[in-house]
Chains A and B, each alone.
Chain A
Amino acid sequence: MTDYRKITLDGLWNNNPATVQILGLCPLLAVSGTVVNAMGLGLATMMVLAGSNLAVSLIRHFVTPAVRLPAFVMIIAALVTVIEMLMQAFTFELYEILGIFIPLIVTNCAVLGRADAFASKNPPLPAMLDGLMMGAGFLAVLLLLGGMREALGLGTLFSNMSLLFGPMADSWEIVLIPEYRGFLLAILPPGAFIGLGLIIAGKNVIDKRLKDAAKRREAAEPKTSRRVRTTGTVA
């Protein structure tokens, strides 16, 4: 019996590719300067992850262990090429901005990692859900980081969303601080490293709080079944 709830939670939180596995950092750090860039790359990665996990799971009985990695890489590369062409066709400006980082999704360790660690050992449906949820977890961190860097660096949020969602998204831009002078550090690579470090630290703090709270609850529960004895154990 597959535990879909566990797969979902693992992807989004407990085993998040960006904050726990620390995989796929190159695109994560490089293109998270604004929300729209982050969302573009996050969505592309999510689609590749879901597709590759599904395909790998379908052929898992027919690929020998010796050649499994080249086979997985071929599948991932084919999917990335499809995504790249789709972006070139429908969101050309964003395709230009993201540039080399779209083809580089092939080398995202999170994609190959999930194919090898999960999809090659599980049936198609859980594998696809795992890909979707891992992708969603990655996308969430990208969006958070993109939002932090855009707000701090440019003083705006959701600017240029029309690159991804068409002209109707032009009005989505929120100017947080009018006539902001800009804080270049947040837009430059150091901002990405510092931001990701703070996100990981924040996640660990929340985890610790939850754990402590669970421990306290356990301790507070009255242990009615135990009798006080000085020797031996209760039969």
Chain B
Amino acid sequence: MSLITVTSPHATRSGNHTGAFMRQVVYATIPGIVVMTWLFGWGTLFNLMIAIPAALLAEAAVLKARGYNVRFALRDWSAVVTAVLLALAIPPTSPWWLIVIGIIAAIVVAKQLYGGLGMNPFNPAMVGYVVLLISFPLEMTRWIGPHEAPSWFDSFRMVLASANVDAFTGATPLDSFRTWAGNAEQLQALPILHGEFASLGWEWVNIAFLIGGLYLLARKIISWHIPVAMLAGMALIALPFWLFDDARYASPLFHLFSGAAMFGAFFIATDPVSAATSRYGRLIYGALIGVLVWIIRSHGGYPDAVAFAVLLMNLAAPTIDYYTQPRTYGHHRAKRGATR
């Protein structure tokens, strides 16, 4: 019998662990990609096909300029994850240059200028998204109406030749809610709010990302704290306002299953680099993202809010960690905010 001598901790898997984790995140987006392609046409896939090579190129260029081993560093798949998340966040009808600009903002500015993987204070994909949203508000709010998916050729023309897409675009549930909030009759008439559950596109998108998120939980890629806290925070603050005045405020269920709620809770807010790290801190971090999403959706100037909420809480994450240091085993409870 021969024993293998290895140093502790005993390596059970070989290879690049960051890469293995990141690949799982990419796999977990597959249900969402499938549903989005089914509902919104091939644009999502075209965006992904442009985003991933663009991200790898941008990452490789900066890594080379910084004197890193490009081949090795690219194997961590982090650029691919950023590219996939950004490509899923922007409208499937957007022209090709939109995603390229977003990728450059995400990879070069938000990630590499701050020191690369593990050093970025902000979620790169969301920085790219917000740069696009405030720079190109027209393109970034043109979502396709549910069940009106264009053919692959129309999608191709929209993405690569910037063809006119107005024939396909329509208001998302969050847009409609924004338009009609406060007008009780119109709001009651909207099928999105009072129709059959999961009857419309956006609920399916959210369910697909929820399934992907549960897969990530099952594989222990993410912990439950941030997603649960975020969704609970959003639902709990939405509930009393909805009960009090359902003409002005949407129901918790509507908030949970529209826009980027599930995508944000499981894929965006859980970014291990820019989120809070202690367990208690993660609960606070997630809950405050949920509350911020509800506040901005209900009272802000933009229809959806996950990107802004996540970026704002990224800013707060170091402070949250500072005040929620866990007790070290065998030691007394650390004083809140003690530097030691």
Bitwise, A21-64 to B at CB < 8 A (1) or not (0) is: 00000000000000000000000000000000000000000000
Contact A194 B109 (CB under 8 A): yes
Q: How many whole Å from A186's CB to the nearest CB in chain B? A: 8
User: B135: CB under 8 A from chain A?
Assistant: yes
Q: How many whole Å from A8's CB to the nearest CB in chain B? A: 32
Q: In the docked arrangement, what's the CA distance between A220 and B137, Å?
A: 57
Contacts of A181 in B (CB 8 A): 136
Number of B residues contacting the other chain (C-beta, 8 Å)? 6
Q: Which residues B100-141 have CB closer than 8 A to chain A?
A: 109, 131, 134-137
Contact A183 B135 (CB under 8 A): yes
Contacts of B134 in A (CB 8 A): 184-185, 188, 190
Q: In the docked arrangement, what's the CA distance between A190 and B311, Å?
A: 14
Bitwise, A176-194 to B at CB < 8 A (1) or not (0) is: 0000010111001010001
Q: How many whole Å from A212's CB to the nearest CB in chain B? A: 15
Q: In the docked arrangement, what's the CA distance between A185 and B104, Å?
A: 14
Q: In the docked arrangement, what's the CA distance between A234 and B166, Å?
A: 86
Q: Which residues A187-216 have CB closer than 8 A to chain B?
A: 188, 190, 194
Q: How many whole Å from B299's CB to the nearest CB in chain A? A: 21
Contacts of B109 in A (CB 8 A): 194
Q: How many whole Å from B205's CB to the nearest CB in chain A? A: 27
Question: Number of residue pairs across A and B with beta carbons under 8 Å?
Answer: 13
Bitwise, A107-122 to B at CB < 8 A (1) or not (0) is: 0000000000000000
Q: How large is the interface on A (under 10, 10 to 19, 20 to 34, 35 or more residues)?
A: under 10
Q: In the docked arrangement, what's the CA distance between A183 and B136, Å?
A: 7
Q: Return the chain A residue nearest B136 by Cβ.
A: A184
Q: Which residues B115-174 have CB closer than 8 A to chain A?
A: 131, 134-137
Contacts of A185 in B (CB 8 A): 131, 134-135
Q: In the docked arrangement, what's the CA distance between A109 and B109, Å?
A: 29
Most buried by B among A181, A183, A185, A188: A185
Q: Return the chain A residue nearest B101 by Cβ.
A: A183
Contacts of A190 in B (CB 8 A): 131, 134
Q: In the docked arrangement, what's the CA distance between A183 and B139, Å?
A: 12
Q: Return the chain B residue nearest A197 by Cβ.
A: B113
Q: How many whole Å from A204's CB to the nearest CB in chain B? A: 13
Q: In the docked arrangement, what's the CA distance between A71 and B136, Å?
A: 49
Q: In the docked arrangement, what's the CA distance between A188 and B132, Å?
A: 13
Q: Return the chain B residue nearest A194 by Cβ.
A: B109
Bitwise, B244-286 to A at CB < 8 A (1) or not (0) is: 0000000000000000000000000000000000000000000
Q: How many whole Å from B281's CB to the nearest CB in chain A? A: 27
Q: In the docked arrangement, what's the CA distance between A170 and B25, Å?
A: 55
Q: In the docked arrangement, what's the CA distance between A181 and B136, Å?
A: 9
Q: How many whole Å from A192's CB to the nearest CB in chain B? A: 14
Q: Return the chain B residue nearest A183 by Cβ.
A: B135
Q: In the docked arrangement, what's the CA distance between A183 and B52, Å?
A: 23
Q: How many whole Å from A95's CB to the nearest CB in chain B? A: 29
Contacts of B131 in A (CB 8 A): 185, 190
Q: In the docked arrangement, what's the CA distance between A185 and B134, Å?
A: 7
Q: Which residues B66-120 have CB closer than 8 A to chain A?
A: 109
Q: In the docked arrangement, what's the CA distance between A211 and B136, Å?
A: 42
Q: How many whole Å from A84's CB to the nearest CB in chain B? A: 32
Most buried by A among B109, B135, B136, B137: B135
Q: Return the chain B residue nearest A198 by Cβ.
A: B113
Q: In the docked arrangement, what's the CA distance between A65 and B135, Å?
A: 50
Q: In the docked arrangement, what's the CA distance between A190 and B105, Å?
A: 12
Q: In the docked arrangement, what's the CA distance between A188 and B134, Å?
A: 9
Contacts of B137 in A (CB 8 A): 184
Q: In the docked arrangement, what's the CA distance between A54 and B136, Å?
A: 48
Contacts of A194 in B (CB 8 A): 109
Q: In the docked arrangement, what's the CA distance between A181 and B101, Å?
A: 14
Contacts of A184 in B (CB 8 A): 134-137
Contacts of B136 in A (CB 8 A): 181, 184
Q: Return the chain A residue nearest B109 by Cβ.
A: A194
Q: In the docked arrangement, what's the CA distance between A76 and B136, Å?
A: 42
13 pairs, A vs B, C-beta closer than 8 Å: A181-B136, A183-B135, A184-B134, A184-B135, A184-B136, A184-B137, A185-B131, A185-B134, A185-B135, A188-B134, A190-B131, A190-B134, A194-B109
Rank and list the top 9 A-B pairs by shortest CB-CB distance, nearest first: A185-B135, A184-B135, A183-B135, A185-B131, A185-B134, A184-B134, A188-B134, A194-B109, A184-B136
Besides A184-B137, A185-B135, 11 more A-B contacts (Cβ < 8 Å) are A181-B136, A183-B135, A184-B134, A184-B135, A184-B136, A185-B131, A185-B134, A188-B134, A190-B131, A190-B134, A194-B109
